[in-house]
Amino acid sequence: MKPHVSNAFTLVELMITISLVAVLVGLTVAGTGTLAARMRLSTCTNNLRQLDLMFKAYAAENNNRLPAGKNNEVNGSRVSWMIALQVYSGLSFPVVNQKNVFLCPSAMQTYAGHKARRTYAMNGAGTDGTVPALLVNYTQPAGVGFLMDSVDNGANEGDGRSVFGQNDYESAVDFRHDNCVNMLFLDGHVETIPKSEAELLRTSVLNFKR
C-alpha cells in the first residue's frame, strides 16, 4: 500500500508564506513611497525649468529685465512676480491643489491644511524686492540662485513666501524634498540642494546681490 501524500500546507509552511508576503508588501509600499517622492521632485524641477523659459521670454520683451519680486505694474495694479508672469504668459489664476507651473506637489505635504497653489519664492538679495534684475549684470549666472521652494506664508490660502532676501532666506526656504530644496539658477539649470549644504545655499542666494 502506497503511503498517503498530502499536498496541503503545513502550519509552518503557511506561517513562512504569510511572513514572506508581508515582507514583499512592505517593500512594495516603501518603494511606492520613494517613487512618488521622486515623481514630485521631477515635477518641481520641470516647473522651475518652465518658469525659467517664461522669465527669459519676459526679459526679451522688457529690455533684458526680469520682473521684480513685487510691485510690478500690470493693468494699473502693483503685483508680485507670479501675477506679472501669469498675465504675461496668458495663464489662468491657479486653483489650490490643481496642477500648475507655480505648484510644487510636495508643498501639499508641508503647507497648512495640505493646501498649495503658488509655492516658489524669488531672490531679492541686496534689494527690497521691488528692483527688476537686469540679466546682463550677471556674468556668472550658473552660480546665481533665483527661485527656490518657499515655506507657507501663513495665510492658509495655499501660497508660499513669494520673495526672500539675503537676511531672511533661511526662514523662507522649504526643505520639502527629503530635506532638500530645489533651486533654479539664472542660467536655467536646477539643483537639488541638501539642508546639510547650507553654505552652497547661502552663496547661491548672495550671488544675486549686485
Helix (H, G, I), strand (E, B) or coil at 65: strand
Q: Give yes or no for residue 27 having a pLDDT over 50.
A: no
- Assess if residue 165 is contained within a domain: yes
CA 128 vs CA 123, 143, 169: distances in Å? 10, 21, 13
Segment 24-41 mean pLDDT: 67
Residue 77: predicted pLDDT: 95
Whether 120 maps to a domain, the answer reads yes
Classify residue 3: in a domain, yes or no. Answer: no
Domain assignment present for residue 67? The answer is no
Between 31 and 26, whose confidence is greater? 26
Q: Let me know if residue 16 belongs to a domain.
A: yes
Q: Note the pLDDT of residue 30.
A: 42
CB atoms within 10 A of CB 67: 24
Model pLDDT for residues 66-112, shown as the tens digit of each residue: 999 999 999 999 999 999 999 999 999 999 999 999 999 999 999 99
- 201 within domain boundaries: yes
Give the pLDDT confidence of 40-75 residue by residue, as tens digits.
999 999 999 999 999 999 999 999 999 999 999 999
C-alpha cell at 182: 530645489
The single-letter code of the amino acid at 70 is K
Residue keyed to cell 491643489: 97
Segments forming the whole domain that contains residue 180: 12-49+94-206
146 in a structural domain = yes
pLDDT band at 34 (very low <50, low <70, confident <90, very high): confident
d(C-alpha 173, C-alpha 180), whole Å: 10
Measure the CA–CA gap between 107 and 119, rounded to whole angstroms: 7
Mean pLDDT on 156-175: 95
The one-character DSSP state at 10 is P
In a domain, 186, yes or no: yes
Q: What pLDDT does 57 receive? A: 97
* List of E strands, 21-177: 72-74, 77-79, 120-123, 145-149, 163-164
Mean pLDDT of 23-45: 72
Q: How many domains does the chain have?
A: 1
Specify the pLDDT at position 24: 52
Residue 194: per-residue pLDDT: 97
pLDDT for 73 equals 94
Looking at per-residue confidence, does 87 or 28 come out higher? 87
Question: How many other C-beta atoms lie within 10 A of the C-beta of residue 58?
Answer: 18
120-123 and 163-164 as β-strands: parallel, antiparallel, unpaired? parallel
Three-state DSSP class for residue 185: strand
| pTM exceeding the 0.85 threshold for the entire prediction | no
Give the DSSP H or E segment for 82: helix 81-89
Question: Does residue 185 register a pLDDT over 60?
Answer: yes
Structure confidence by residue, pLDDT tens digits, 137-157: 999 999 999 999 999 999 999
Helix axes 81-89, 11-60, angle to 10 degrees: 80
Q: Which grid cell sits at 38?
A: 521622486
Q: Which stretches does DSSP call E strand in the chain?
A: 72-74, 77-79, 120-123, 145-149, 163-164, 180-185, 190-194
Phi, psi angle pair for 78, to nearest 5°: -100, 120
